[in-house]
Amino acid sequence: MSEAVSSGRKPFRRSILTIHRWLSIGAAIFWLLQALTGIAIVFHWEITDAQLSSAHRTTDLVAIERRIDALVAEDAGSRATTVWTTGSGTDRFNIYLQREDGESTSVRILGDGTVIDRPRAEESRLMGFLVDFHHDLLGSWGSWIVAISGLLLCSNLLLGLVAAWPKRGTWRRALTPAQKGPPAARLYGWHRALGLWVALPALVIAATGTLMKFEDGVGDLIGAKSVALPAVPATGSSIGFAQAAQAAIDAVPGSSLTQVAWPRDGDATYYVRVNAPGEIRRAYGDTRVLIDANTGAVRGVFPIAEAEPARAFMGALFPIHTGEAGGIIGRILSIAVGLWLVTMIVAGLLLWLKRRKPQGRASASRQ
């Protein structure tokens, strides 16, 4: 009876190993590029800002509003749409404007409104290229490829974990690979041990990244609702950026400003995003404050800490994927996981090549 069960497990394990091997070989180059670009952009906010200027200025909302007004005046017919923090701190922002012809432009400023960068539409920069490549391969079709490859990576990590899972009583040996023996056997031992040590955190990072590629569908599936209130019609002149931003900051004590979205047609509401104390999304935060553009009154405060489970889950995907949920240490660990994936891909390919060589020699000798 036990022999029958044992013999039944071997074909299953062999099948798992075969699927794992060929999935890895087929997608190796793409996964390698995704891992390398992911490693490179973990600190892209700080790198980009450091390349532009070392200056820092205390955030002055009124001065920023004056800069916005000046930028709008430079290009007749343009209008401000959003202001975002650059992500590297609390004293640098990107102002996004829309021209009359529908084209979008952006300007990066210090906290006092000083302009430090005016990127041109045709301009391409290395860090921006790496971010776009990692997110969607530089296009909408690429976004689908990233999503599908993410699903394959998650399934392959699970297959690898199943294939490497030690028998009872052999965990110690599996987690501490042998230092002696044939090169192929030692390489396999390291490949297996590294997989057992890091596969689960790698699966978390891969799964959160993949879920973000299906964000709308997953959000609808679990019932995550966007923050919104009934539209308010405009009754006159709108309040300015500074008043709306300050009202939102005051509504959440200790918070910092991360985004302001101007009122849309038919709804006189500023949508403001702040980073509240204790949030795991440290760069952009995820607490929303809605401000009445007619009066400056706070229409609603939606702390992510008090969000319903579905919205909290969706909001946690990005900071877990990037490691920022764990602060600097978390981001460094995400780099380590990326390096692990690169190591596993290279080791797996080397192992495959080493095992093919004897087969090649054997077939040659038979001819």
186: tokens are: 């030692």
Indicate the pTM of the whole model.
0.87
Match 């650059």 to its residue by tokens: 86
Average pLDDT over every residue of 265-270: 96
Whole-number Cα distances in Å, 205 to 6, 210, 247, 322:
34, 9, 36, 8
283/315 Cα distance (integer angstroms): 13
Q: H or E segment at 298?
A: strand 298-302
What angle separates helix 183-213 from helix 309-322, to the nearest 10 degrees?
140
Mind listing the pLDDT tens digit for each residue in 4-37?
A: 444 455 677 778 777 877 777 778 888 999 999 9
What value does the mean pLDDT of the chain take? 91
d(CA 287, CA 305): 8
Q: In this structure, how many other beta carbons lie within 10 angstroms of the beta carbon of residue 280?
A: 19
Of the candidates 280, 366, 285, the residue with the CA atom closest to the CA atom of residue 331: 280
Residue 170 has pLDDT above 50, yes or no: yes
User: Tokens 């440290």 — which residue?
Assistant: 282
Phi, psi angle pair for 103, to nearest 5°: -70, 145
**HSE-up of residue 207 (Cα within 13 Å, Cβ side):** 14
Task: Report which DSSP code applies to 259.
Answer: E
The residues pairing with 272 across neighbouring beta strands, listed in sequence order, are 260, 289
Q: What CA–CA distance (Å, rounded) separates 111 from 134?
A: 29
Six-digit token string for 169: 């009583």
CA distances to 41, 172, 203, 212, 358 from 206, in Å: 15, 27, 5, 10, 34
**pLDDT mean over 307-328:** 97
Q: What is the pLDDT of residue 315?
A: 97
How far is 346 from 235, CA to CA, in rounded Å?
A: 63
DSSP string over 120-152: -TT---HHHHHHHHHHHTTSHHHHHHHHHHHHH
CA distance 70 to 240: 14
Element (H, E) at 192: helix 183-213
| Four-point Cα dihedral 20, 25, 26, 30, nearest 10 | 110
Question: CA-CA distance, 115 to 94, in Å (whole number)?
Answer: 10
Name the residue with higher pLDDT: 160 or 357. Answer: 160
Maximum mean pLDDT: which of 159-168, 172-181, 249-258: 249-258
The answer, yes or no, to whether residue 161 has pLDDT greater than 90, is yes
What digits encode the pLDDT tens for the residues 67-92? 999 999 998 889 999 999 999 988 99
d(CA 78, CA 149): 40
Least Cα distance to 315 among 324, 325, 304 occurs for 304
What whole-number distance in Å separates Cα of residue 234 and Cα of residue 252? 25
Sheet holding 287-292, edge to edge: 115-117, 104-110, 92-98, 79-85, 256-261, 269-275, 287-292, 298-302
pLDDT at 182: 86
**Taking the CB of residue 175, how many other CB atoms lie within 10 A of it?**
13
